[in-house]
Amino acid sequence: MTAEGSFLFQKTIAKTAVSVEIIFKGYTEQLFCSDIEILKLVNSGKSAPDKQNIKLRQYDIFKRRSLIKIIKKGLKIEPNYSFFKEFCSQIFAKTIFNVLKNDFPQFIKNKEKMHFQLEIINKYEYRCLANHDFARSQKDLMVLQFSGSALAGRVYFPWLCRKRVDASFLERTLIHEMEHQLEHLKGLYQEEEKIQQKIKLLSQNPTNHISPGLPYLYETLCNFYTEGLATYLEHKDTAFLTFSLEQISHAKEALLKLSLCDSKTEAEKILLKDFKIKGEDAEYHLGCLMAYFVALTETIRLKKKVTIISAKTKEKLTDLKDLMSFILNSREIRLGKLDEKAWDSAYQMLGNITHHSDFIKTYLKACHELKITQVAVIIDMELYKTLLNNATGNHSELLK
């Protein structure tokens, strides 16, 4: 532990000097103790507490079936803030070192040094359990803000109960945010911010007929690539992903509503309620599926195999040439783990993209090769142009 109260860890990985500094910033002992009481309540096995009285997303962060039996047996858990900070810092640093060595070595490729600055804060909204601070991050510095509540619920509490931590959660979250660091270094977020500033200026002139939903729409379209690719990266070893025609249709309808909305309040409501898949922002899942379909073309090119199962009949697809008819008959399918070479090849291809529209075009090329018809296409250039024209009064060229 450093003199300032932060924790510092250092290790050399593939000739790169890696350092990890963890600072508990805003997640106080009082907040920690409160979270432990909520953890005990949520996993007590008693009638479920009113979710409205628990901070947004905390319930789902904390609820773990594997802990209920242990808590019901009367295990006494006393919060120890000092141990929490030291233990979680060690686990976090160890996870970062393991990810860089085994899962994401390209992140530090050709680098002499890499410093991770992790700030443990009071945050718990879904998909905001971690936040890559691109404004402060640099080529050899990654600044990441992480939810203290998530550490309490996924690392500290399970360790006290079962001597286990949710290592997969930490690994997937770190990989996801590391991908955002690479996107930041490519200039993607800086370019997006320029367009958002342009939208803000255009919106000040009522004769431009800019929809209040345009800033949200443009961010969502950008996220199809940035969040989609990061989600694809974190799900490399996931057993199955769900592809649903109903979810795709619903998402398209929500995007069209967003492009035509009349107020900021309506835009936020659409994103909070309509543009969701199983509680998460839809562009994460749909963007990941777009990347997956690109990987399917690599699977064919490399003559590899993948397991795809009908959610309805449990029937397996035997030939990717029949994928479209299989989708139509099943309506919902489970996409299995990809061959590593096919997965890597697709990631290398997609990682070179510098604009979300090029990501859509690459995905559409894959759909063409796979003979995927309109009903199963997540987004095409016609819909893309319609959305932007709706939100700009048929003047999408203003965004160039």
Residue pLDDT, tens place only, 329-351: 999 999 999 999 999 999 999 99
pLDDT at 75: 64
Q: For residue 55, give Cα distances in angstroms to 35, 61, 122, 240.
A: 10, 10, 11, 30
List C-alpha distances in Å: 82 to 19, 87, 89, 90, 245.
Answer: 22, 9, 11, 13, 49
The structural domains of the chain, with segments of one domain joined by +, span 7-185, 188-399
Mean per-residue pLDDT for 200-216? 91
Tally helices (H) and strands (E) across the chain: 16, 10
Q: What is the DSSP letter of 15?
A: T
pLDDT at 201 over 70: yes
- Which strand (E) or helix (H) includes residue 280? strand 280-281
**Mean pLDDT across 169-181:** 94
- Could you report how far apart the first and last alpha carbons of the chain are, in Å? 49
Query: Closest Cα partner for 383 from 258, 267, 205?
Result: 258
Q: Supply the pLDDT for residue 266.
A: 96
Task: Look up residue 386 and give its two tokens.
Answer: 């319609």
The per-residue pLDDT for 56 is 43
Which pLDDT score is estimated for 126? 42
Strands 130-132, 141-147: pairing is antiparallel
Three-class secondary structure of residue 398 per DSSP: helix
Residue 43 has pLDDT above 80, yes or no: no
The reported pLDDT for the residue numbered 69 is 60
In tens, the pLDDT along 129-156 reads: 889 999 999 999 999 999 898 898 889 8
